[in-house]
Structure 1
């Protein structure tokens, strides 16, 4: 809403009061025209503009026309060409409406600019656009010239529509999706041919979606029947199961091989989100029929579903290769789209190569930012947080997830937001924030089940199970993870079930039920051996240690720690040390157990994992080791990542409601966080909190 009203709280308040029940709940797109958003505010501003002299209003109209949908920098030339006197702008400056600069006119705000444009008559607006079009003709100004020519047109024109369509293509190629969307939409309005109009509307909708205008994209898409567009919108903001079918249909119809490849890559993403990985085989078959290589992770996923882990490994390595600076063949970033770079990051994650995954997703985000496509940038960050999380950078991952969540909501990607909330549930589980974990997991799972999103549904279930495991609720953790193994597409996900195997084995061993755990570990061992990832092999060795009797476990634990030393999953290394120390204590090998526990405790405290740290302290107490009181430290070091974020916002003066809105949590959860902050810091008020956090 704030984005649509240009961040103006007056317009937001008026627009919010005018929304229908379906618009308030996100079922219908929000209105996108200024007159439908805040008509009362516009009327008041138009009245203010009309009190100004005619010459002043003419200059303001010319400046306003020059600045939307993109600044064409033609105002000063138009003033000179028409021999207009710029001095009447002094009246606008005196009233605070706008002021002149060396580059043109700066309006008080966006709504004043809109009012200055709409206060003029239709004939006056057309004349202003024609004047601007006449002075544009230099290199790189064709798109602006076409826009102003079209805005000055009296009615439909096939010639102008074709000119605008070409200009839209050029703007799109130049990385200007906002301008491309406006040009294509105007071309559709002027086009006399219904079929050409539908094509232009589809392009305008796709451009609007790329540049982060989801409501405009949905409104334009509703006026045309385009499977590719329907599939993209469903993948990001609708039912992902329906998205797969629409994208596959669009890929089959697409004549251009490059665009068919991109659509198949998106179909693979739909299969990943739903958890119906068998759909990857269907997409690969279509690629073979079209005579194009299956893109991204498609072939690797298809092989993994068939159980051919060696082939899956090779195919996933090929998909991840473009991200490696020393790859052979060399890095192919210039020819890789952001979508395929995201696939490369996903492939690296599956292979346990978190460094390469981080590189791929960061490059995808950078490419998307350079292309002015915030939609794709948010998608890249979804998978970036996994790499940060697994390598123990929990605080960084949580901060990145919060920023990605903000972008996902701002660009209308509800499904991506659902995935990110599930990730935040996992971060909260690690940092011991039980209430935030439950809240994020419940919200993510409810939305995921409604939209067939097996990936976030499974991740939310795993987060709840990990929290139970960290709190010592082993039967509950085992039950959740056992249920996860039985969930099909739309409710669960094979990859998440696979990743959760080490935690399931731990919970099952703690409850004495190892029969199913042994079978799960056998499959995990087969995959770990195929991909040869040190982290996966370390976790597999830890599973063997947990399932081994007595002293036999020791060598397996040693093997696991040796492998962890070559990997990047430091949080899991600390958990392995904790489990190893517990086994050593039971074997009465107390000195070595104590050393392992101190190492694990230090790691858990640095990662901000208090519940895991509490388990390590309990083991130390069982060894009879006295625990000294913690030394005085920076107050921020005593808080979890989420608590620290809440504390800083509270110290800056934000209310509980404002903090809740910014973090996508409830005010009740924020109150719970603040009580925890006060308890950990030994304070009683926000005033004391401000003093503590301001202390150098």
Structure 2
């Protein structure tokens, strides 16, 4: 296949495709303006790879959920019985092969990945800008997860073609530009049938920017006089967006019956040839009328009519009058009679409507329900939006707009949801609809990154609860959401915790949500001592094995937060572990991402930094897979993990986040950042700075959300010479530790008691602290207890005892790479005259990556490649690839040897 001037691009495609023979995978987006040659390059790739799968986006199909993915997978669906059960069920519902609950997008995506990865192949998706959004999201997920399957996934994408550019975030992009002068002239010379003046050829090449489609069309249309340079070229030269106008001019010159035939063909995407012919007869045209368009090379073959370029189809449709378009859609709707095509018929009826039409709007609403049942939330919001436009009665129209906004929210189109709601007068809605609108707005604003979203979210949720009125279940859900919003915004919220607690108290009960609300209300209004039992009842309800997984995943933020408030580490681990298993089993990747975020934060707070690393690395991989951009990921960083590790420049990295979180009204993350910086200050001996940072979080006399920061404040205030502040913090710590009676709380209270005690009493409390903390998950707390005890012993000149405690502390800090505290401990040992070596980390050649570590652990614990693949959302081939690298790095040859070698 000969291509002018594309040797570099073809070589790049050859290299990518050659990797399939070595089992390597790749994904690539070819992006460029219309007519620049993307499809030609994709056809070149297809010609070098027999058995390639190819689909092209169809603009009229973009509103039907999973339509493109279904077309792509048709040759592979016969093997769906080999899929894990959850993936098989999801893809069957998505492709309309069976009925069932609406499938999760990422379960469908995983099924597609598994099916595509069964054999090396090339997969081509042209005109990706016209794919339905569910299919594009699924294929983008596949592209980001490909690794060692021997699969190459290529996309062709029109420049500025996506209304949501982030949908393909994380997939490599290669911009395709026009041909260089030499190649453009060569292409032009091959098109014209007469001698071409060199100067004129250069002029045409420059004027078209080397666009192959513009060169080809222009070369064939120029007169002999123009080719000789006797007459000027047409102005402006048809290129880029002007190409469509160029085709429109040619189409207007065709006979009226030919234009009608072309318009029918353009509007009939997804329809059958017989439907096209029947609709044509209704409009007084037939097959013979296609001939002039075929002679002009605008289409080939009728039927089916294949347009020379998508721009021709677009020019036909957009160049027609609105009356002609309505007539064509009305004719097509009339010939579509099958129940399986009810959605296409409804869409044609909607396009044929010249004003409000309740019957058509109601049919579109039924289409929306069918789309939602297949997991097509983008399609659902599209159908509902059009239904709202056609609804004559204002009240019903507003309700459908609210429903469309809720569907957009579920689809992840947060900005679109807000735009739909902005067009609604929420004050005029009936109570339940107003409540739904308010709740949708609150959640969409936070997820869309609206700076005021976290600030106002809880207040809007309370207003939603009030609007729901007697619908107690929906009102409860709204107040639960208000509680969750307060956890994020904290002191930067526009309402107080007391206002949220009052609403929670009114809706408290004995079921799970009722207990959550009762716990929050008691905690806020009745104080720490009386609030602890209520929170414990709520936590017990969440961790109850009878609580459904979907409920656990929906309430994980509140459950983990309640555990933090009362130092309950064991139930928190139960929540996180069970939630992780549930999210992996069901493919709920957004929920799994949240589990990893909370797990990393929990591990860092406890000083269990290996656990924090695992969750942080898994979360980063997952966010890349689901398409979060680098800017979006900034909110998911873990300052507490960074400050434990104390890499160079850590303060300059972390401190600016305080202002960012202030601007975004994320009070919870701002507080965590302050506590993280204080931890680093304590490790490095800057106690005055730590005291100031902690003082901005702790409220004396009312130990509240950050009671677990009180031990650090006691140490920072005492070591900076501010004993009165240390005593105030200690008094609150006594109250909270005794009310909680959690082992870690008791251990930290004993550690602080030792710091404040006299010489004769301190040692007993240090020993008590170490004994209590040794039985907890608080690895960092225990290591710091050994450090403080060792420092105390050294100052008492008990060198051998001090060396024992400090050596143990150093081993614990070094184990988790808590570098700031490790260095402080080394300085203490050096003061004893010890020579302390700094451990050298393993080289890249022998160290396992986080992904390899995850695969190795699961293999060690008996997982098969297929089970590991399902657990980590990979293909079995990629698991095998990672496992072979693990074996090589660890010097083992089997899973049995792996069990003997790999330890946590």
Task: Verify same fold: TM over 0.5.
Answer: yes
Q: TM-score under structure 1 normalisation?
A: 0.69
Query: Match of 2:146?
Result: none
Residue in structure 1 matched with residue 551 of structure 2 by the alignment? 336
**1:176–1:427 distance in 2 versus 1, CA, 3 Å:** same
Q: Distance in 1 between matches of 2:312 and 2:771?
A: 65
User: What secondary structure sits across from 2:339 in the alignment?
Assistant: coil
Structure 1 residue 163: deviation in Å?
3.1
**Residue 596 of structure 2 is aligned to residue 396 of structure 1:** no
Matched, 1:228 2:443: no
Q: Indicate conservation of the 8 Å contact 1:234/1:242, yes or no.
A: no
Q: Return the alpha-carbon distance in structure 1 between the equivalents of residues 644 and 695 of structure 2.
A: 20
Give 2:412's aligned residue.
212
Return the alpha-carbon distance in structure 1 between the equivalents of residues 601 and 331 of structure 2: 49
Equivalents in 1 of 2:362, 2:382: separation in Å? Answer: 14
* Structure 1 residue 201: Cα displacement: 1.6
Q: 1:427 to 1:629 in 2, by over 3 A?
A: closer
In 2, Cα distance between equivalents of 1:384 and 1:129? 58
2:689 is the alignment partner of 1:476: yes
Q: CA deviation at 1:268?
A: 0.9
Distance 1:369 1:466 in 2: 33
The aligned counterpart of 1:433 is 647
Given candidates 285, 308, 322, the residue that maps to 2:527 is 308
Aligned mates of 2:356, 2:835 — CA distance in 1: 85
Quote the Cα distance in structure 2 between the aligned partners of 1:626 and 1:45.
77
Q: TM-score, normalised by structure 2?
A: 0.54
Q: Secondary structure, in 3 states, of the residue corresponding to 2:540?
A: helix
Greater relative CO (CA pairs within 8 A, separation 6+): 2
The structure 2 residue matched to 1:510, chosen from 719, 722, 728, is 719
Q: Report 1:140-539 matches (<5 A).
A: 146=346, 149-151=349-351, 153-169=353-369, 171-172=371-372, 175-224=375-424, 225=426, 226-236=437-447, 237-239=450-452, 240-255=454-469, 256-276=471-491, 279-287=496-504, 289=506, 295=514, 297-324=516-543, 327=544, 330-333=545-548, 336=551, 338-354=553-569, 356-357=571-572, 360=575, 381-389=596-604, 390=606, 391-392=608-609, 393-400=611-618, 402=620, 410=628, 420-421=636-637, 424-433=638-647, 435-443=649-657, 445-485=658-698, 497-539=706-748
**1:28 aligns to what?**
none
Distance (Å, rounded) in 1 between the aligned partners of 2:333 and 2:313? 19
Q: 1:477: Cα distance to partner?
A: 1.4
Q: Where does residue 570 of structure 1 map in the other structure? A: 779
**2:881 corresponding residue in structure 1:** none
Distance in 1 (CA, whole Å) between partners of 2:351 and 2:576 is: 40
Is 1:610 aligned to 2:819, yes or no? Answer: yes
Q: SS of the counterpart of 2:777? A: coil
Q: Distance in 2 between matches of 1:529 and 1:291?
A: 26
The structure with the greater share of residues assigned to helix is 1
Q: State whether residues 358 and 388 of structure 1, in contact with CA within 8 Å, keep that contact through their aligned partners in structure 2.
A: no
Q: Distance in 2 between matches of 1:254 and 1:545?
A: 54
Contact 2:417/2:441 (8 A) holds in 1: no
1:578–1:597 contact (8 Å) kept in structure 2 = yes
Q: CA RMSD in A?
A: 5.1
Relative to structure 1, the CA distance from residue 152 to residue 404 in structure 2 (aligned partners, 3 Å threshold; closer, same or farther) is farther
**Aligned equivalents of 1:60 and 1:559: distance in 2?**
81
8 Å Cα contact 2:751/2:765 also seen in 1: yes
- Long gaps (5+) in structure 1: 18-39, 64-74, 89-94, 98-103, 642-692
1:347 aligns to what SS in structure 2?
helix
CA contact (8 A) 1:61 1:128 kept: no
Distance 1:173 1:370, change over 3 A: farther
Q: Distance between the aligned counterparts of 2:636 and 2:777, measured in 1? A: 22
Residue 137 in 1 paired to residue 339 in 2?
yes
